[in-house]
Amino acid sequence: MAKRAPSRRIGIADVAKQAGVSHATVSRVMNGNFSVAADIAERVRQAAADLKYQPNSVGRSLALGKTDTIGVVVPDLENPTFQAILRGVSRAAARDGYRVLIADSSEVSSEEAILAGEARRRCDGVILCAPRMADADLRDLAPALHPLVLINRSTPVEDTPCLSADYGQGIQDLAAHLVARGHRRLVFLAGPEPSASNRLRVRGLELFMEQHPAVELQTVPGGVSFAAGHEAVDAILASGATGVLAFNDLVAMGLLSALHERGISVPGQLSVTGFDDIPFARYTTPTLTTAAVPITELGEMAWQRMSAVLRGDEDVVLGTVIQPEVILRGSTGPAPS
C-alpha cells in the first residue's frame, strides 16, 4: 500500500464526491467526452473548479500507457548546436502537446547509454544526439530505446530514423570557395577524432583533394570550443596556409580572436571559415564565412520523425540528410599574393 498521506492532493474521487457522481463521469467530463448530460457536466466542472482539481498526469499516463513526453539526450548543453536542436525539438513537440525531458551527458560518453535508457523509461521515446558513441554500442542500445530517432549519426540502425547534416559536402563547398579565391594551401582545424561529424568532414576533404591535386591540405588538431580555436593559433600560423577550415564556428571564433590578438589581418593575411552558422557568426569581427546548418529545423524534423513513429505510421522516412549552405561573409577573401 502506498504512503498514507496526511493531506493528499485533490483527486478525481474528491471531485466525484463533491459533484455527487462517479469518478468515471468526472473522467469523461475532464476528457471532453460528450456523452455526459450538460447539467451534470457543468456540476462536475464546478466541483473541479471549487476544489482546484488538477488531474494527476502520472495516473493518467499509467492508464493510457503513454506519457506525452520524449527524452532528448545531448552531449553538452553548453554547445550552441545542441541547444538549437533541443529548442527545435522542444517547440515542435510542444505544438503536438508533448514535453521534453532533457538528459545532458556532459560529454561523458560512457554515460550516454545509461542516460538514454533512463530517459526512455520515463518517456514515450528518445531522440539521441551521441556523436561519439561507438557504432556497436549504439546498435546494441537501439532496440531498448525504440521509438528512437538519431541525430548526426552516419550509422544506419534498423528501423530508426536518422537525421544529419552533410558535413562532408559542406566542408567541400567551403574548400571550393577558398580555392576559387586563389588559396592553394589550406589547413583543416579539426574537431574531436572520434566524432562522426569530424570523420565526415575529413572524408569530404579527402574527396576534395582527389579532385584538386594542386591544392595542399594540412590538418591541425583542434576541438569543439572557443578555447580550442584560440590555442591552435600557433599551429595554424606555422602551417603556412592561407586558408583555414575550422571544425565549427566556435573554433573559428576562438581562432579569430587569437589572430586579432596577434595582429594578423583576416582576411587580408589569412582567410577563416567556420561551420554551423550559429547566431553569433554574423556578429564576429570580421563576420564569419561558414556553412549554415539549419540545426533548429533539424530538431523540428527529428520531432516529426518521432511523432510519425509514435502515431504508428507505416513508412517513416529513415534517412534524412540536410545540405549545409555556404554563407559568404567577411572572414574570407582572396589569397594574399
Decide which of a copy of itself, DNA, none touches 17; Cβ closer than 5 to 8 Å per partner kind: none
Per DSSP, 232 falls in state T
What's the closest the beta carbon of residue 168 comes to DNA, in angstroms?
43
CB 236 within 8 A of CB 255: yes
Binding interface with DNA (CB under 7 A): 1-3, 5, 8-9, 11-13, 20-25, 27-28, 30-31, 35-37, 40-41, 55-56, 58-60, 62-65
Residue whose CB is less far from a copy of itself, 69 or 109: 69
* Cell 586558408 sits on residue: 243
User: Which of 57, 211, 265, 323 is close enough to bind a copy of itself by CB under 8 A?
Assistant: 57
Residue whose CB is less far from DNA, 21 or 245: 21
Question: Alpha-carbon distance 203 to 208, whole Å?
Answer: 9
Amino acid at 218: Q
Show contacts of 38-44: CB within 8 Å, 24+ apart: 43/19, 44/15, 44/19
Q: Which three cell numbers stand for residue 193?
A: 577524432
Question: Alpha-carbon distance 335 to 214, whole Å?
Answer: 15
CB neighbours of 272 closer than 8 A, spacing ≥ 6? 243, 244, 246, 252, 255, 256, 259, 266, 288, 289, 331, 332
- Is residue 136 within the footprint of a copy of itself (CB under 8 A)? no
Residue 12 neighbours by CB distance under 10 Å: 20
Residue whose CB is less far from DNA, 117 or 294: 117
- Is residue 248 within the footprint of a copy of itself (CB under 8 A)? no
Residue whose CB is less far from DNA, 24 or 77: 24
User: Which of 121, 134, 234, 317 is close enough to bind a copy of itself by CB under 8 A?
Assistant: 121
Find the Cα–Cα–Cα–Cα dihedral 203, 206, 211, 213, rounded to 10°.
170
* Cell 596556409 sits on residue: 241
Decide which of a copy of itself, DNA, none touches 260; Cβ closer than 5 to 8 Å per partner kind: a copy of itself
Near a copy of itself in 157-216, by CB under 8 A: none
What's the closest the beta carbon of residue 63 comes to DNA, in angstroms?
3
User: Which of 38, 58, 136, 214 is close enough to bind a copy of itself by CB under 8 A?
Assistant: 58
Decide which of DNA, a copy of itself, none touches 262; Cβ closer than 5 to 8 Å per partner kind: none
- Is residue 22 within the footprint of a copy of itself (CB under 8 A)? no
